[in-house]
Structure 1
């Protein structure tokens, strides 16, 4: 039997795609409203714009801390246990969080302590979901179509990021509990889709290796592989510094003055750019000069962030956020393809957990950082400073990790051959 030429030709991948789309829709509908409720409760309680920004920073920090603590163990779990079952458990835990927030919102009893408590639980759930589902994806399709599968998986994620905030914002205008009710239903769909995935290969467990030794082994692999380490940490520092999403409620209410509907558009704009970029790559996979293109994409991400931070026009802000999302997706597509193809299957869970930690540090940790910086110097200055930091990071990483500048293709063996040819040429 011939191998499928496209990921959607694999039934297991189709179920995985539906599950990821449903979960992401639910997550981003819920996360947008959590931030909106947090900021508005703080402002209505008499806090200044800077003080309310600090509450958004706390929400980001409370989601990041469980991820930081649990990541080594969640990665090991993804390599030791059935990744499908682990994914289902995390989705059901997130469903429970949505139900709790929906109940308190319905009864008009939502408060900052409730939002903070649920943020911690979401951090735990996402800490285990990320490594399990990321490591599961390469087991579903043949290696030669994995980059296309990564692009399609990114489409499901980015479509969720587009439609999720829009769904949350519009439903919130009808009733505060509705976004959480919709998220609960979507999480249920995600869990059912994961249940329909058939048996997939599971890496063999080394019986002579203790859990702590296995965790250390996974971390050591990341440190040794300069390609993986450079790609992971580039995203960590660039997005950590330039992440502006936590401050969207500030821009929506007090700078652009566009309300919760405008907030939905702000949140959807970068996801739209990212989704269209991923859609393009699903039909025309990138094949050449992948390393240099990733560096340029992150630099463009920083420039667009600076312009967004200075903008007082809704149209210009949306345009810059669209570019931010497209540039970020460009780099994510390259980074994830490189990491998956340069990592053995028996280490993918642990390496994915390290990647998740850096992504969470850059996203949730970046939210905490940008919120704190906004508290100290104001939201506009915080966003602009972050964009400048991302550009500086690109310059530093291109020197610290020269392999990022020289990597031409996704195929590790091809890059090794090119390096050998270059060495022989220099010797001659």
Structure 2
């Protein structure tokens, strides 16, 4: 795989005040959401003792991202994206404040938790694509890949430490976790308010209609490189969802206990975190297309090794490599999509991309679970890894321009 080269930019990433404010908001919001997910799941199961209630939390979070994607994308392209993010996080903050107060007064019940989680999901359906579309306004184009890597580092750090912190604080009560969540959301709002003084591109407002709502989809279909990277992510994640089977591998194949399962769950995030930290200091200057395909192929190969491993340390190494490869692919894909998309369409394209991301994650876990039920965990994970490699081979043939692409920014975009 071609290696990125050191960034020779005269302005280091974390000396960009606008990006620092953005990054602080992202890490606060990510930690709050991870802690919220743990506390809400634990609390609702303690109230109901029904596994189905845990499934409902996932569904309730997933529905707004799909149902609101197109109108959210149009809204993000019409309004100041900074204010959209502020409004979305404010909605999430109000919801968790309500959860904290209700839990403290012991007036919380299943329906209320699900309703408030749905409100958080509404906020997330605007926050995620708005932040994706806002980032290119805050850093120079050559620094975007490093900025996305730093953004990914914030998410991975939250994925590793957030659930553990939420579980630890839950001992003091769900209301304590929710109160800290609210504090983190408010810190994120404070950080983001610093961006209001930054000059960004003004966009004309146009009334919503079906033609404008679908503009993001039309743009993706018309740009082979953008269509290629988004669809590659969809099918690779859909087939390579072996992490959903970790409890089975931990107990039945690796013969380890909860401590081993914890290590297995942390390994992909650790690999992604370390790779993202490395990528904040290096950037891709050439052969970005083949590098991306190599990273996705590495993801597939790591899945195959994990499927065939019966030693926990080899499995941990495979999952670590899997996470690192996924981060390389994510940074390249995300940078290419944002740089190839005109500013007035970034919200709608990011919203459509979020549908692909959320759908592939959810359906990937479902697909892995169903295959494991029919064939067993090892064949299911093995087929997922081999399927990912086949997708890479097919996509390299279907999208030759993407395979030969040299730069993150397309010359005629």
Tell me the TM-score normalized by structure 1: 0.81
The partner residue of 1:31 within 37, 40, 43 is: 37
Distance 1:121 1:262 in 2: 35
The partner residue of 2:26 within 20, 29, 43 is: 20
Q: Cα offset for 1:74?
A: 0.9
- Whether the aligned pair in 2 keeps the contact of 1:59 and 1:368 (CA below 8 Å) is no
Change (3 A) 1:180 1:4: farther
- Whether the aligned pair in 2 keeps the contact of 1:158 and 1:274 (CA below 8 Å) is yes
Distance 2:126 2:64 in 1: 10
The partner residue of 2:327 within 326, 329, 347 is: 329
Q: Cα offset for 1:137?
A: 0.7
Bigger drift between 366-375 and 325-334 goes to 366-375
C-alpha distance after superposition, 1:326-349 (max 9, x if no partner): 011000011011111111111111
User: 5 Å matches for 1:399-414?
Assistant: 399-413=397-411
Bigger drift between 219-228 and 157-166 goes to 157-166
2:200 aligned partner = 201
Distance 2:109 2:20 in 1: 39
C-alpha distance after superposition, 1:96-148 (max 9, x if no partner): 44445556766888876566545533332221111111111111122232222
Distance 1:385 1:288 in 2: 32
Change (3 A) 1:30 1:80: same
Distance 2:117 2:33 in 1: 12
1:201 aligned counterpart, secondary structure: coil
* Residue 299, structure 1, aligned to residue 297, structure 2: yes
Distance 2:389 2:295 in 1: 10
Change (3 A) 1:27 1:374: farther
Q: Cα offset for 1:210?
A: 4.6
Tell me the TM-score normalized by structure 2: 0.84
Distance 2:102 2:252 in 1: 27
Listed as ranges, the gaps of 5+ residues in structure 1 are 46-51, 418-428
Change (3 A) 1:76 1:4: farther
Distance 2:362 2:122 in 1: 13
User: 5 Å matches for 1:65-76?
Assistant: 65-76=63-74
Q: Cα offset for 1:411?
A: 2.9
Q: Cα offset for 1:89?
A: 2.1
C-alpha distance after superposition, 1:127-178 (max 9, x if no partner): 1111111111111122232222222222222222222233234334665555
- Whether the aligned pair in 2 keeps the contact of 1:165 and 1:264 (CA below 8 Å) is no
Listed as ranges, the gaps of 5+ residues in structure 2 are 1-8
The number of aligned residues is 403
User: 5 Å matches for 1:177-192?
Assistant: 178-192=176-190
- Whether the aligned pair in 2 keeps the contact of 1:297 and 1:327 (CA below 8 Å) is yes
Distance 2:114 2:382 in 1: 28
Q: Cα offset for 1:407?
A: 0.9
